[in-house]
């Protein structure tokens, strides 16, 4: 398959697509590598993960350039993401010997628990954060002694292929990390069905997630699903409106809106609505859209022509604001603000592009009702200077990752994942290890 640079539409690489047979070979390799990998001492496993983290750092600029050319991300974003990948492997190197079992008081003996690895795990990754999301799964999977078959997205496999090479270079034994490039409907589907794959760690759309869950039922595979979102950025009239407005564009136009955590519904208390809108338009005008290789660029193109067409279908008529974007080659789409009701399609469905719906609300109850009026529950933000209200609303919103007076969702040390149809299971932090291990309970009669 030919890969193109989304900013120029120029070909950048041609990769062979694996089929079912190659997938089966990779699973068999991972299965064969499991016993020896499991026997590696905790200290040595930690050392190998730390070496991988160091290699990611040492090859950071190359990895960032690959990601920028393949995904169209601004180079400064790619550098930040690569730095996070290294931190993820450092974190899980440290976690190897800190995820332990318990001893439990019982009658007649001693009861203890062990965290056993699952065996071979299949990791399926989307195109919006190819390297980051690969590492969020690889780190805890390897720390927990599993061997893996990693399938990157069709459009963006290059950084995962390079990461696989670095894993080998780090000394992680052959067969422990297998990267298989191919179609979701073939390689992904085969991993879901394969009887020797114990778990699927999936990130992608809710639609495909649903079919992964269905397919996993046949072999009672474990699944972790990180799916879509339609997150709310809730701005109360008592917030620091300047700060909230300055931050809001980056929370939805970052990664050109192709972010599962995009705060694509901006809910604004009616009494502050007009003032906030003025500030928001001004801030959105300031987003620097253009060549992803340029140091100062803040937003690049969309991933593909197909994605651009889908995003465009959400904007009918004249929007409240439309920014500038390069014309000519590349899958460009400008930052776009539309006024909407929460029932409009643009407020209900995941756009996955730089389009934000601005929606007024009456009071705190109304804000909570609107924030929760979606089948998704991934992320969101609450802006208010009233601390009690901030916590009240945070507890009332059905979402897995919220921030108060900030728009960030992802940290190496903290659990990340969704409520409702945004999926289940948690990545990152110590919580992710639970998804890559099985609890075994052993009773010893004394
Ligand atoms: P997608 O669901 O189309 O594809 C995701 C992955 O699944 C790809 O590797 C694809 O090849 C594979 N796949 C496709 N069909 C399959 C099948 N039948 N069986 C097994 N695997 C299959 O998603 P996408 O378009 O690559 O990514 C965008 C979506 O991902 C958005 O909905 C976004 O919200 C979501 N996402 C979620 C998170 C999160 O952590 N919650 C993070 C990033 C992206």
Note the pTM of the prediction, 2 decimals.
0.97
Measure the CA–CA gap between 252 and 260, rounded to whole angstroms.
Answer: 10
Question: What's the confidence (pLDDT) of residue 415?
Answer: 98
Give the pLDDT of residue 330. 98
Is 11 buried (19+), middle (13-18) or exposed (0-12) by CB count in 10 A?
exposed
Indicate which residue of 67, 226, 269, 427 is catalytic: 226
The reply to whether ligand 1 has any atom less than 6 angstroms from the CB of 172 is: no
The reported pLDDT for the residue numbered 11 is: 98
| pLDDT classification of 387: cutoffs 50, 70, 90 | very high
Where does the pLDDT of residue 12 fall: very low under 50, low under 70, confident under 90, or very high at 90 and above? very high
pLDDT given at position 348 = 98
Helices (H), 218-304: 241-253, 273-285
Task: Kindly provide the residue ranges of all beta strands, DSSP E only, lying in 52-162, ordered along the sequence.
Answer: 103-106, 109-117, 120-124, 147-151
pLDDT of residue 437: 98
Question: What percent of the chain clears pLDDT 70, i.e. is strictly above it?
Answer: 100
Using a 6 Å cutoff on CB, does residue 136 contact ligand 1?
Answer: no
Q: What are the tokens at 196?
A: 């020797």
Residue 385 has a pLDDT of 98
Measured from the CB, is residue 203 less than 6 Å from ligand 1? yes
* Mean pLDDT, residues 203-223 taken together: 98
Distance CA 177, CA 162 (A): 12
Rounded Cα–Cα distance for residues 5 and 12 (Å): 6
Instruction: Look up residue 249 and give its two tokens.
Output: 């564009």
Tens digits of residue pLDDT in 342-376: 999 999 999 999 999 999 999 999 999 999 999 99
Q: Are strands 401-404 and 177-179 parallel, antiparallel or unpaired?
A: unpaired
Residue 86 CA to ligand 1 centre (angstroms): 23
Ligand 1 contact via 350 beta carbon (within 6 Å): yes
Tokens at 324, concatenated = 């500038």
Closest C-alpha to ligand 1, atom 10? 184
Beta carbons within 8 Å of 146's beta carbon, 6+ residues apart: 34, 37, 117, 118, 119, 120, 121, 198, 199, 436
**Do 427 and 91 touch, CB atoms closer than 8 A?**
no
Query: Up-side HSE of residue 123: CA atoms within 13 Å toward CB?
Result: 33
Verify whether ligand 1 is closer than 6 Å to residue 372 (CB atom). no
Q: What percentage of residues in the chain have a pLDDT greater than 90?
A: 100
Distance 209 CA to ligand 1 centre (A): 7
Asked if 33 contacts 174 with a C-beta cutoff of 8 angstroms, the reply is yes
Residue 72 Cβ < 6 Å to ligand 1: no
Instruction: Say whether 125 sits in a helix, a strand or coil.
Output: coil
Closest residue by Cα to atom 13, ligand 1, is 184
Residue nearest to atom 30 of ligand 1 (CA): 204
User: What per-residue confidence (pLDDT) applies to 184?
Assistant: 98
Annotation marks residue 260 as catalytic: yes
Local confidence band at 219 (pLDDT 50, 70, 90 cut-offs): very high
Burial of 275 (0-12, 13-18, 19+ CB in 10 A): middle
Which of 204, 229, 349, 411, when mutated, tests ligand 1's pocket best, judged by the most ligand atoms within 8 Å of its CB? 204
Chain segment 75-128, per-residue pLDDT in tens: 999 999 999 999 999 999 999 999 999 999 999 999 999 999 999 999 999 999
Residues 245-271 have pLDDT tens digits of 999 999 999 999 999 999 999 999 999
Query: Which tokens go with 118?
Result: 């699952």
CA distance 399 to 422: 9
The answer to whether the beta carbons of residues 357 and 233 sit under 8 Å apart is no
∠ CA 208-211-216, rounded to 5°:
125
Per DSSP, the three-state class of 440 is strand
* Token representation of residue 349: 């469905």
State the average pLDDT over residues 17-28.
Answer: 98
Q: Which of 188, 128, 172 is nearest to 6 (CA)?
A: 128
- 127 pocket-lining for ligand 1 (C-beta < 6 Å): yes
* Span 129-133, average pLDDT: 98
Give me the catalytic one of 22, 67, 154, 260. Answer: 260
């Amino acid at each position: 398959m030919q890969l193109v640079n989304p900013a120029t539409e120029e070909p950048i690489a041609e990769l062979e697509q694996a089929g079912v047979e190659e997938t089966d070979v990779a699973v068999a390799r991972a299965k064969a590598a499991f016993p020896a990998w499991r026997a590696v001492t905790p200290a040595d496993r930690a050392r190998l993960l730390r070496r991988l983290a160091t290699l990611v750092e040492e090859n950071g600029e190359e990895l960032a350039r690959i990601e920028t050319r393949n995904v169209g991300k601004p180079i400064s974003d790619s550098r930040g993401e690569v730095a996070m990948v290294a931190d993820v492997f450092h974190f899980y190197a440290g976690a190897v010997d800190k995820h332990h079992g318990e001893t439990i008081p019982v009658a007649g003996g001693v009861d203890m628990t062990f965290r056993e690895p699952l065996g071979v795990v299949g990791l399926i990754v989307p195109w919006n954060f190819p390297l980051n999301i690969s590492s969020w799964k690889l780190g805890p999977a390897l720390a927990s002694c599993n061997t893996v078959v990693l399938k990157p997205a069709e459009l963006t496999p290059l950084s995962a292929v390079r990461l696989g090479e670095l894993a080998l270079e780090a000394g992680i034994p052959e067969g422990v990390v297998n990267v298989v490039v191919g179609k979701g409907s073939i390689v992904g589907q085969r991993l879901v069905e394969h009887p020797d794959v114990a778990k699927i760690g999936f990130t992608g759309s809710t639609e495909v997630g649903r079919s992964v869950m269905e397919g996993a039922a046949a072999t009672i595979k474990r699944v972790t699903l990180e799916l879509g979102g339609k997150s709310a950025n809730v701005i109360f009239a008592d917030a620091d409106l300047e700060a909230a407005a300055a931050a809001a564009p980056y929370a939805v136009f970052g990664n050109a809106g192709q972010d599962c955590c995009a705060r694509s519904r901006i809910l604004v208390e009616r009494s502050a609505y007009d003032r906030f809108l003025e500030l928001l338009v001004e801030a959105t005008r300031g987003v620097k859209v253009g060549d992803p290789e340029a140091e100062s660029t803040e937003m690049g193109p969309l991933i593909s022509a197909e994605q651009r067409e889908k995003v465009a279908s959400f904007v009918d008529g004249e929007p409240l604001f439309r920014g500038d974007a390069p014309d000519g080659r590349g899958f460009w789409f400008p930052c776009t603000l539309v006024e909407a009701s929460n029932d409009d399609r643009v407020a209900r469905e995941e756009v996955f592009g730089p389009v934000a719906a601005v929606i007024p609300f009456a009071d705190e109850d109304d804000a909570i009702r609107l924030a929760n009026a979606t089948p998704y529950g991934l992320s969101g933000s609450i802006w208010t200077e009233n601390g009690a209200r901030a916590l009240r609303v945070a507890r009332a919103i059905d979402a897995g990752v919220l921030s108060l007076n900030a728009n960030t969702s992802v940290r190496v040390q903290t659990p990340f994942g969704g409520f409702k149809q945004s999926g289940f299971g948690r990545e990152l932090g110590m919580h992710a290890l639970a998804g890559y291990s099985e609890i075994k309970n052993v009773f010893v009669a004394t």
